Amino acid sequence: MTKVSSSSLKRPWSSSDLQGYNGPRSRPQIRGSPGLMLFQKDGSYALYNPKEGKIERNLGDFSGSRLLANSGNCVLLLDSGSNLYIKDVFSEKTISLPSLDSIMPCTSSVKRVEDRGFIRKDSDCTFTGLTCDDVRGLLWVSESGKEYVVVWFFDRPGHPYISFCRKGDTHYTDISLFFRDSHWLDGLSFMVVKGYRLYISTNRRYVRILDLSGEQGTFKDITGFKPFSMLSDHDLWDSSIAVTTSGELLLVESDPCDRSCFRVYKNNPDIQDPFSSSYSLLDVDSLGGEALLLDLGITVPANPTLGIEPDSIYFTRHCRPCQCTPRDLDICVFNLATKTLQRFPHLSDMNLMDARWFLPRN
């Protein structure tokens, strides 16, 4: 049985700390260590410093908007009018994005129905009953803040498209999730965007890799002849993929009935033909001197001075970005080497809708 340990907060606080908090508008004092963006159901957003055990500052009131993703200091939000936009939570800079019905080339079309509904049509099918509540997304913003990639989709069974745009694009480009002759590449179970590369874990747990850096309206599938198989023996566990700083793919699993148990796998180089093997992964007990931000699906170099502990998994909720059956928030840090868990019990006192680990940038 994995040993569970609670975090030690320096002072107790409640949701009243967030209400009416008027902290400094300067850069928060986390200075590169992992922090938490907290999102209350009333629309209030705040930055929590787990190192100090306190609210660092109020990030504003985004009532009517829903958080889809985050990257660095930026968040991807969907407003009450079903419009996507990027917001820097420190500078308050806002970037408006193309309308969701702006899709080119016209392999399919998206049309709005009343205030919150959508219909997508292609040459074969019409997909009805889509709403803004079904929209999920991913975000990557460069270190300089000058480049970005946005990926979104309707999280409904059988919906066969995701769409993306980059800085400068005036419309979204569709990516089909359906393959007539390669069924192991069909569908979507998880995604990670890192730079201009999109990693898609398919329904059968093979991983497609797409290069999104080309001209507007184009992308390149660089999966290769033998895609990675990311399937373990624990098919009932929550699972997602992650990408290391070197570009290596990881499978991350957690027991939905016991969050004190996480497992990480990497590709087994000794498996010559992944299609002939039902299990082609290695169980690992180390992240190689890195830490994993599971909300973002990426690893970062560990730095104990900044509070980024090696072999640690920073976790708030599994099943991102797909949330057909969303899991409850469970904010914690799991150490893969020692198999110990650190939780933040005082956060349960707040009326939180969501929370995200992030690394602030200068």
Query: Residue for token digits 């700083």?
Result: 245
Phi and psi based region of residue 304 (left: phi greater than 0; alpha: psi -120 to 50; beta: remaining): alpha
Among the candidates 224, 256, 291, a domain finishes at 224
- Between strands 206-211 and 126-131, the pairing is unpaired
CB of 344 within 8 A of CB of 333? no
Among the candidates 179, 204, 224, a domain finishes at 224
Tell me, yes or no, whether 299 and 188 share the same domain: no
Tell me, yes or no, whether 140 and 260 share the same domain: no
Tell me, yes or no, whether 211 and 91 share the same domain: yes
Q: Return the bridge partners of 37, or none.
A: 47, 356
- In angstroms, the Cα distances linking 136 to 117, 256, 301 are 15, 21, 28
* Cβ neighbours of 304 (radius 10 Å): 9
Predicted local distance difference test score (pLDDT) of residue 187: 81
d(CA 175, CA 169): 15
Residues contacting residue 248 through CB under 8 Å, at least 6 positions apart: 266, 267
Predicted local distance difference test score (pLDDT) of residue 275: 57
Q: What is the pTM of this model?
A: 0.86
Predicted local distance difference test score (pLDDT) of residue 41: 81
Q: How many domains does the chain have?
A: 2
Predicted local distance difference test score (pLDDT) of residue 17: 41
For residue 205 the two structure tokens come to: 């747990």
Q: What is the mean pLDDT for each group of 10 consecutive residues in the chain (362 residues)?
A: 31 36 38 82 84 79 85 92 91 92 84 89 88 94 94 90 95 88 78 96 88 93 79 77 93 83 85 61 91 93 88 83 64 92 83 88 70
Tell me, yes or no, whether 112 and 29 share the same domain: no
Tell me, yes or no, whether 20 and 107 share the same domain: no
Strands lying side by side in the sheet with 332-335: 4-6, 340-343, 332-335, 312-315, 290-293, 298-301, 238-243, 249-255, 258-267, 281-284
Q: Does any domain span residue 83? A: yes
| Type of residue numbered 229 | S
Q: What is the pLDDT of residues 125-175, one digit of tens each?
A: 899 999 999 999 999 999 888 999 999 999 988 888 999 999 999 999 999
Q: Does any domain span residue 230? A: no
Predicted local distance difference test score (pLDDT) of residue 273: 64
Residue 91 domain boundaries: 64-224
d(CA 252, CA 51): 25
Predicted local distance difference test score (pLDDT) of residue 198: 97
